[in-house]
Each structure stands twice: as structure tokens, then as C-alpha cells.
Chain A
């Protein structure tokens, strides 16, 4: 392989749920510093792919490697600490916590503060708390909801909740940020702003894996695209290649015809 090195490698991953093969020998990799789009019709296995990568599901066969390390059987919070963070297609914020606290939970991922540090307010607690708060606010600034940091997460608007999901994931200090349909339910203008945000996030040094249904958007923002259909990878390439790929057009026919053509 040429160019930048692969950050994450999905190697021949198959996962079955009973009789259903949700992912069927899927292989692709994500290169450092790129924005990779993961697309495909409903039920194609995109979210399942995220779940395998983040340790929610164990692959029936095949493996995922991150930074050369095999992720199989690694605990989920350990995978996060290694540097993979994600958002959820169905928003899953800590609703009773404030916006800032939500992000702080992410920022705590690398904290070494323990029970006694907290109980006796040892220097490590103070230092870490101050640093995480500052970092959390910085991230909230980036996603554009800093002003609302004291709100309860459940009181945010739908769009801001999606932004908070991204902020919380960013706060874990990942190398790879996986966004599962972050623009779902957005209007076109909001979508555009979000894509700008994603580009900015990449420029901050993150590698981004993006699931998104809106083809035009994906084409605009990604460096490369992987296409899934019925759990199989049917295409991979730069946006212009994907646009003209007959298999992709066929897969999207009747779904998003004009976007695909």
C-alpha cells in the first residue's frame, strides 16, 4: 500500500446474527489523516461495522487491527483508550448531566484520577480537573455549543445534541473519530455546516470515519469511500470513482437515484 499508513484495518470481518450475515468478509482500511466515507443502503451493515470496531460486537471471523494492534476481545473502554471514539446513530447522551459534564466524561478517558485523589483533593485531581475543563470547553467551542455548556444535555435542541455527541467523542482524545450519521435529521443548510465542522475536525488532526446517507454530502467531504450492500463491500475508491461505479449506482437505484448518478 502506498501513501499514509493504515490506522485501522478491517480484515476479512464476518459477523452473523443467527441466520443473518450482517457483514460478509469485509476488508478495508482507514489511512491516517483522511476522511473515509462508509455508505450503503439501509441495513447494509454500516453501524454493525462500527460496533465491531468499537468492541460492541465480536466478529464471527476475521479481525480488526488498530495501529497494528488486534482489537479482538479487548474491552470496550480499552479500545476507546487506544484511540477510537464514536457517536451513535440514535443519540445516546447522558441526559441528566450537563453539556460540559458529558464532554468531561469523554475527557476523563485518559485521566488517572482515582478515588483517593478525589476524596483528598490531591494535586492530581486539581490539575486534571482544570485541564479537562479547559479542554472540554475548547472542544465545545469547536463544535459551536460552548455557550450552552451549563445546560442539561436533554434540554438541547436535536441538532445541538448531535454536536454534543461529536464533542464528547472528540474529548476522549481519539486518533480515529467514527461518526454514525451525524447529519441525520438535519436540513441542507445544517448539513453543510456540519460537513464544514467535520473538515475542521480533520484539520485538527483527527482521522474521520463517516457514515452518511446523503451521497452528495459524502462526495463533497470525504477523501475516499467504501460502499457496503447486504453486508458486502461492493466498491471502494475516491468519490469520483464511486460516483461512476455501476454496482454502486445499481445499489442506490430507487433509493437515491439522482444522488448516485
Chain B
């Protein structure tokens, strides 16, 4: 920490408080007997899945379909979790993540609509694989070089991909691709206009102030993927997010996660301790790409089933990076929070939509000054911060003990 200025340490304190609160929740959860833990987890899962049906007051967006908002919240969270592997774990600044998102989306579009008509669930793994290969091809030459080079190359990559799809007829050029296959409906096929198909239908809640009532007018057909209702798509991408999270956790808490962290901390030292740093950087990069491709594929086959080059502006890359940084680079829950916020806030406050970038920029600046580690940084960052604050308090203005 070379710049320990007043705002940082002040922000550090509140950061520690927020972190502590989170830790207390986690610890309290962990100290419960297994059965309680399982029940708690199940309840949380049910709640998260049911969120677009519950439509909590204040939280629900009035001006725009809440199910659709929740879909993009989950999609952003998934993207942020993927990018967190690259930025947060391996310390590689990838500024062109939208490129992978785009590759995943276009692979799905081409396979299920534009040139072939594969079912979605067949196209999905191919989209992931193609994106992963793209990641390896981009990473292999660039990850050998240290420093800012990667940021510049990935930045260019994100833009090149967009320009390519815009100009290649085979990929639909600027008109984009429409009628991308939705995931296959499970259960009865929908019979428009009235029968939505699916397995069964669930009603949602309507709130009059704080009093809920069942709204039987707007039912959601479970596992029916049509154009009318975004909620099944939300369930699908949420499931993907949960699976990715489980994988993320297992891999992070292993030799692979340690190798990433050591490489991020001190690449030379890691290499000299036997870590093949290039291999692990490439692995993180390819994994991140694959998760980006996964979310891109879900995006393409979403409710509208339409993508165009304009769906993948470079700005989206910046939002993705912002999501990871805002959330607290290196912490998967932070990434989810960051992704969710970045997707949710502009939709919730549509009235200010014209100013959303301005407000967003201001918020980022404030955060950078007050909480450079993000809202919810990894626990160890908070621990180190706490210890640092303690030492600072002890030293009271004395020279900071900078170890060579």
C-alpha cells in the first residue's frame, strides 16, 4: 500500500465494518448444525429463485418487466463471476471481456438460427468451447508478456470482435441475427396465444403497499421458454450461475487457486517456487472466457432471441470490469453483488436513465477514493487492512514499517 492517505484509511474502517458484518453472517451460518445449514441454504435458494414471483415492494422495478431485469441481473452476476476469475484471482486485467460474451452469443446465433438450426442445449457447449479456444488463442501470445500489454490487447480484441461481426455477412453484419433458438421448453409445448405450455403454472404476488395478494392474471409457466415471460430464463441462468459458483469455489480452494493467487501476488517468486505461472494465467484466462461465452450464449437465446453488433459495445466491457472492481475484486460474492448492482440500479432508477453513466461514473470515483478494495473484498484483504489499521494506530504517525 504505497498511498495510505487519509480517505483510504477512513474508508478502510467502514470497509472493515461492512466486511465484518458479512463475516459475522458467514460465521453464524457456519456454526449451525448441518441440518439447519441445509435448511437455511434451501430457504435462501427458494427465495432467490422465487424473487421475480415475490416481487418485493420497493425492490421491484415498476417501469420495466421485473423478470427481465432479474434476468439481466443474473446474467451480469454470471459475467462478473467469470471475470473475477481473470481479474480477481489471477490478476489479469481483461478489458475486452465483451469480446468473449459476443463470441458466445454469435456462436449460438449462427448454430441455432442463422446457418443451422441446432437446439439451444446442443449449441451451448459448442459456444462455450469456441469461446474458450478464442481465449486460449488470444491469451497464449499475450500472457507471456507482463504488465499493461494484456489490458491493451484485450481492449483491442473487444473492439475488433464487434467490428468483425458488423462487417461479416456470414455473421449477419449490422442487421444482426434474429430468431435465435430459445432453450427447449420442458413439458407441454406452448399453444399461442393463450396456452403457455410448460410443466405447470405459478402465480406471482402483487403488493398493495406492504400487503401481498396473489395475482392470478400473470402466471409463469414453469420451464416454458417463450417470448412472453422472462422468468424461466432467469431460472435457467440462475441455475448456471449457481453451478459456476460451486465450481469456482472448488477450484479456488485447491492448488489451482493457490497458484493463481501466488502468481497475482508476485509472479517471479511464484515461478521460482515451482508454479508454472504462464500455464495458470492461461487457464484463468480461458476459464474466464468460457464463462463469458456461457453468459453470451444465454443472452443470445434470451427472451428476444435477437443479437446485433450494437449489443456488444466496448462500454459493456467497462461495465463488466466495473462490476468486479465495485464488488471487491477476488471475492465471488463481491463479484455477484457488483454485477447485480451494475445491472439493477440503472433499471430501478430509470427516471435518471439519461444521467446513468454520469451518476455511475461519480459513484465509481467516490468508491475509488473511499473504498478502493470494493464493497466486499476478499476476507483476507480485510484482515490485512485491519492489521494495518492496528499498526497505524500503534505507530501514530511514525514511519510506516516498509519491509524491503
List residues of chain A with CB under 8 Å of any chain B CB: 54, 56, 75-77, 80-81, 85-86, 88, 90-98, 101, 104-106, 108-111, 113-115, 117-121, 125, 128-129, 152, 154-155, 158, 161, 168-169, 172
B403→A105 contact, CB < 8 A: no
6 sampled A-B residue pairs with Cβ under 8 A: A85-B272, A94-B269, A97-B262, A105-B270, A115-B251, A118-B251
Interchain CA distance A169-B265 in the complex, whole Å: 17
Please tell me if B115 contacts chain A, counting CB pairs below 8 Å: no
**Residue on B with the closest CB to A118?**
B254
B273→A152 contact, CB < 8 A: no
Distance in Å: Cβ of A169 to nearest Cβ of chain B: 8
**Residue on A with the closest CB to B258?**
A105
Q: Which residues of B contact A121 (CB under 8 A)?
A: 250
A172→B273 contact, CB < 8 A: yes
Interchain CA distance A121-B256 in the complex, whole Å: 12
Please tell me if B13 contacts chain A, counting CB pairs below 8 Å: no
Distance in Å: Cβ of B100 to nearest Cβ of chain A: 18
Interchain CA distance A245-B261 in the complex, whole Å: 48
Q: In this complex, which of A92, A113, A129, A161 has the most chain B Cβ atoms within 10 angstroms of its Cβ?
A: A92
Mask: chain B, 270-299; 1 = CB below 8 Å from A; 0 = not: 111111110000010000000000000000
B259→A155 contact, CB < 8 A: no
B258→A104 contact, CB < 8 A: yes
Distance in Å: Cβ of B367 to nearest Cβ of chain A: 20
User: Of B247, B251, B273, which one neighbours A105 at CB under 8 angstroms?
Assistant: B273
**Residue on A with the closest CB to B248?**
A119
Distance in Å: Cβ of B252 to nearest Cβ of chain A: 9
Distance in Å: Cβ of A39 to nearest Cβ of chain B: 20
Distance in Å: Cβ of B206 to nearest Cβ of chain A: 43
Distance in Å: Cβ of B13 to nearest Cβ of chain A: 18
Interchain CA distance A109-B280 in the complex, whole Å: 13
Given contacts A97-B258, A115-B256, A119-B250, contact A81 B269 (CB under 8 A): no
User: Of A93, A108, A125, which one neighbours B258 at CB under 8 angstroms?
Assistant: A108
Interchain CA distance A245-B383 in the complex, whole Å: 52
A129→B387 contact, CB < 8 A: no
A152→B387 contact, CB < 8 A: yes
Please tell me if B268 contacts chain A, counting CB pairs below 8 Å: yes
Q: Which residues of A contact B383 (CB under 8 A)?
A: 152, 155
Distance in Å: Cβ of A185 to nearest Cβ of chain B: 9
A76→B258 contact, CB < 8 A: no
Interchain CA distance A198-B127 in the complex, whole Å: 55
Q: Which residues of A contact B268 (CB under 8 A)?
A: 56, 92
A129→B381 contact, CB < 8 A: no
Given contacts A118-B251, A119-B247, contact A96 B261 (CB under 8 A): yes
Q: Which residues of A contact B275 (CB under 8 A)?
A: 77, 105, 108-109
Distance in Å: Cβ of A160 to nearest Cβ of chain B: 12
B269→A119 contact, CB < 8 A: no
Please tell me if B148 contacts chain A, counting CB pairs below 8 Å: no
Q: Which residues of A contact B387 (CB under 8 A)?
A: 152, 154-155
A152→B274 contact, CB < 8 A: no
Given contacts A105-B262, A109-B274, contact A92 B269 (CB under 8 A): yes
Given contacts A96-B261, A115-B283, A118-B254, contact A168 B273 (CB under 8 A): yes
**Residue on B with the closest CB to A94?**
B265
Distance in Å: Cβ of B176 to nearest Cβ of chain A: 35
Q: Which residues of B contact A91 (CB under 8 A)?
A: 403-404
Please tell me if B380 contacts chain A, counting CB pairs below 8 Å: yes
A80→B273 contact, CB < 8 A: yes
B380→A97 contact, CB < 8 A: yes
**Residue on B with the closest CB to A109?**
B274
Q: Which residues of A contact B403 (CB under 8 A)?
A: 91, 158, 161
Interchain CA distance A169-B272 in the complex, whole Å: 9
Q: In this complex, which of A77, A110, A169 has the most chain B Cβ atoms within 10 angstroms of its Cβ?
A: A77
- Given A94-B270, A120-B250: 13 more A-B contacts, CB < 8 Å: A76-B271, A80-B273, A91-B403, A92-B268, A93-B269, A96-B381, A97-B261, A108-B259, A108-B275, A115-B256, A115-B283, A119-B247, A161-B403
Interchain CA distance A158-B255 in the complex, whole Å: 27
**Residue on A with the closest CB to B380?**
A96
B272→A80 contact, CB < 8 A: yes
Interchain CA distance A105-B261 in the complex, whole Å: 9
A88→B254 contact, CB < 8 A: no
Given contacts A96-B380, A96-B381, A155-B387, contact A86 B270 (CB under 8 A): no
Interchain CA distance A62-B302 in the complex, whole Å: 63
User: Of B258, B259, B384, which one neighbours A152 at CB under 8 angstroms?
Assistant: B384
Interchain CA distance A81-B283 in the complex, whole Å: 20
Interchain CA distance A17-B213 in the complex, whole Å: 78
Q: Which residues of A contact B274 (CB under 8 A)?
A: 77, 80-81, 106, 108-110, 172
Please tell me if B398 contacts chain A, counting CB pairs below 8 Å: no
Interchain CA distance A94-B383 in the complex, whole Å: 15
Interchain CA distance A104-B275 in the complex, whole Å: 11
Interchain CA distance A136-B362 in the complex, whole Å: 47
Please tell me if B266 contacts chain A, counting CB pairs below 8 Å: yes
Distance in Å: Cβ of A232 to nearest Cβ of chain B: 26
Distance in Å: Cβ of B139 to nearest Cβ of chain A: 15
A101→B258 contact, CB < 8 A: yes
Given contacts A76-B272, A81-B274, contact A125 B254 (CB under 8 A): yes
**Residue on B with the closest CB to A110?**
B274
Q: Which residues of B contact A117 (CB under 8 A)?
A: 254
Interchain CA distance A93-B251 in the complex, whole Å: 22
B250→A106 contact, CB < 8 A: no
